[in-house]
Structure 1
């Protein structure tokens, strides 16, 4: 995913479906350099993980 789209998703009030390695995730934040994002799985687990932005995929 491109960094500009990640920024749009973060600023949106809409529920936008995003996946990382086949798992549905919420994007919590992006790094200052725009190369990584902090995400957590959708659901009861709140464990956060830092992942490459390029590996995030929007589900249409």
Structure 2
């Protein structure tokens, strides 16, 4: 299970499900279960880790 947190709330995503985030939307991914999760983020257009905005308190 992958947990997706946005400013609108929290959603748990399970196998076979997907979530769509819009450009500029604040989003945080976590894997709270003991089994973790494998997931794929597809970003269009692609971005560089150098220009991603990160919360200072989470670095």
TM-score (norm 2): 0.27
TM-score (norm 1): 0.27
Q: Larger strand proportion, structure 1 or 2?
A: 1
Q: Larger helix proportion, structure 1 or 2?
A: 1
Larger radius of gyration: 2
